[in-house]
Chain A
């Protein structure tokens, strides 16, 4: 039964590998990789917890009756089996509750925002506000919410780039990808580390769409840069490593065709990719093997096998 722990530990190795790999990939591929890794590993972790719950649950008379079990399922000391099972059930319940709360929260947020945006005609909702801000509000139709301060901070061409950027978010339904990874992060704490890289990859996708729409990468870069500078520095410096540039300078550099920091060597990149693939395959195989072992134990307990 020890293989069942693999899917619970794999995210601690897979997440750093996926982050490094996403850094080296084109934005679209990076986003696809991060979403697949997050959702896949979250599913495996939840399934592993379920596999841990079942042996302990077989000590309950009604579970044994429902499963037509003659003896409880166990290949270890009953106290350990039951203890692990109770802990796994607690974690599984907590994850399910966190995912449900989050899902309802997302739905409520969007419903409120949509109900209020319903009065706005057209795709643009302008907010009279002295703080420069802009974001895409998903829905059917999606809307672009922008403050007057942001409109005033940009030149007409830069505003076109900003709108094209937000339209790319809406067209690509990027909020669904963000929500999927956000929900996955509720299933396993290590998966939280995939949210920021996904956010960055989606901004890069939208930046590239904006550059295409205005036909000028420098103009798109200036739109991003000036919008960020208009907001001024953060009131309290963010506690990020001083050596790493924040997402906005990295986006601007990418649009301008500048390299920021050394890209990992192709060999290292391939090694990281191979490591990640191995980690994911091992996780899936361990999950199947653990399920198969449990199935065998059930057959034994049902008296179908000696």
Chain B
């Protein structure tokens, strides 16, 4: 396609009064040689949009530059059926970010220079962009593989089928239903009034799934191999004797949880000291068998204490809350009350009651039924002279040490994900122990290993769980239920439905050759120049999503459907040979070289800001909205992700004459906010080597700085920027100006 670029400048929102339109148009036409340049006083109005649409319909233009407000504004108005659209932000990041007093000619001139630079950047970017050629394949599958036949897996498979897609359900054991098979009754599901224990519905769900001809079920089976990419996952399913190969489009992992090993609990909780100290799982089985009795002598257990958070929220054991134990312990207390009526006494010893959402009503119901809640710690467990258990409790509420005599003590132990073990009773290992795993649930044949990466040191997989629940760091593979994070029954069902929908979204997106998320709809994907590759393998190692394998020679082997278009590989490549059709090292270099750098004696420094489009750019937009002024010497270039940062850009900026470079990335570490998990962390690592570049140029190392910016930082960001501007002001001007 031959690009026919049109540039449309808006003069609304005060832009017309503040800026010299004639000069701007001259930049676009004479300097940047854009064939069609027009302006309108209200470009986002029907008439303005019509002006652009007419040129598109007439075929005068097929690629559009809109110089108006931030790309985050008016996106619905400026939606055209074209491949290339670039927004130049003259309003939010220029007009609104500069404090210009009327009649202050210097300030007005600075503002005009900023607007002209931004227009140049947009024009260069448009000229450097190419129309992406989507990755399409004809042999793809839209079936969804569900691994694990418990509540989450059954719900996910059922919802996939309900939506009109085929599901493949693999269950390791001979029986569908998972942990719910052991339960007498269940905590309230997603139906009001959320006050009563509900009948166990797992049998009905199993029959529904087994009777659905869209769901193919493999019992006694495991997945021994997963090859390929979304749309083209080739799965090997094996039972005792036979192996079978299948092609599926996406995967939902619902392997559930196992409980923390009670023998590892602190001795003060008394597990093992008496048969009448049991875990909540053991108690549930006793209740199911109709045996709420002392295990020691078979006497009725009318007085039952529940120790919540047993080994949970405790750094020595599990450092997190399982989010479901308060609720199911209330349910179990209700069992006792329902069985023994007025004779029942139930006590829940808690640290904090956590009953999220509608479960607060269930908490009230438990109180109403007479369960007694004691905030405190179990300090010692012994036996009493009545053949029961003596529980020493430090009651924080009445500030007293008390001894609670009960028939049974039930310990609510925490949940651990089994997302990466073949054995449902073995918790998923964490950290380096995972590398020694003989096999994982999916056995991914990926360059970066067979497992799903975990969040920090926990066993739970994630990929920016705040913005993208169900995601893992392996595209097209979703995790739902307690395998993803600890949760109860109601949450598990919602979770499984969500993951099923994500899995369907993934197969549909892949079939159209677009990214699922975070850059949903992006048609581009990375490609490289093989003759430049030195087989350094940095791209295959740094890809946060394991999208790149290696071929026999050690060259990268891109799996476009696994790619999330974060461009981390592009920034990683020391040879600068990885690029996207619409984003490249060369593009950003060309853009920054287009900024006009004033001569040294003009005393107008130039500071380049690389800002992450996900967090820093919205924060800057918000600053504009708050009219929080910044220095007129700043020039902002948004980056897809800090992970795309190439050190060449720093070198180019310095040799071009920029006095400083400020990088705004997302928070990284265990509580990272990077949409692409590791982008900003990798940028920081790369930046640690920038001093070499600066030394070679004989420049001070504090000319380049990286800061962590959160989307909410509009109030603190002005201070961060002005500090850096001041720091640069204390240095001599960059001597490379004018070369």
The answer to whether A and B interact is no
- Give me the interface of B with A, judged by CB distance under 8 Å: none
